Amino acid sequence: MSLFENFTEDFLEEAAIEILQELGYEYVFAPDISCDGEYPERKDVSAI
């Protein structure tokens, strides 16, 4: 079994998040910062 058989988009995403957190970035779940989320970053979707 080769490395690429187990390499998934999820694996890549988790690795990228981990690296960025180690560099000091904060991970935030996207729906939480959407316009109608708990901590919106924008007033409406037209601001994107």
Domain range annotation of the chain:
24-48
Q: What is the DSSP string of 4-46?
A: HHH--HHHHHHHHHHHHHHTTPPP--HHHHSTTSSS-SSSSGG
**The Cα angle at residue 29 between residues 43 and 48, in degrees rounded to 5:** 35
Q: Is the pLDDT at 15 greater than 70, yes or no? A: yes
Separation of alpha carbons 3 and 12, rounded Å: 12
The pTM assigned to this predicted structure is 0.64
Is residue 37 within 8 Å of 45, Cβ to Cβ? no
Q: What is the DSSP letter of 47?
A: G
Q: What is the pLDDT of residues 25-46, one digit of tens each?
A: 999 998 999 888 898 888 887 8
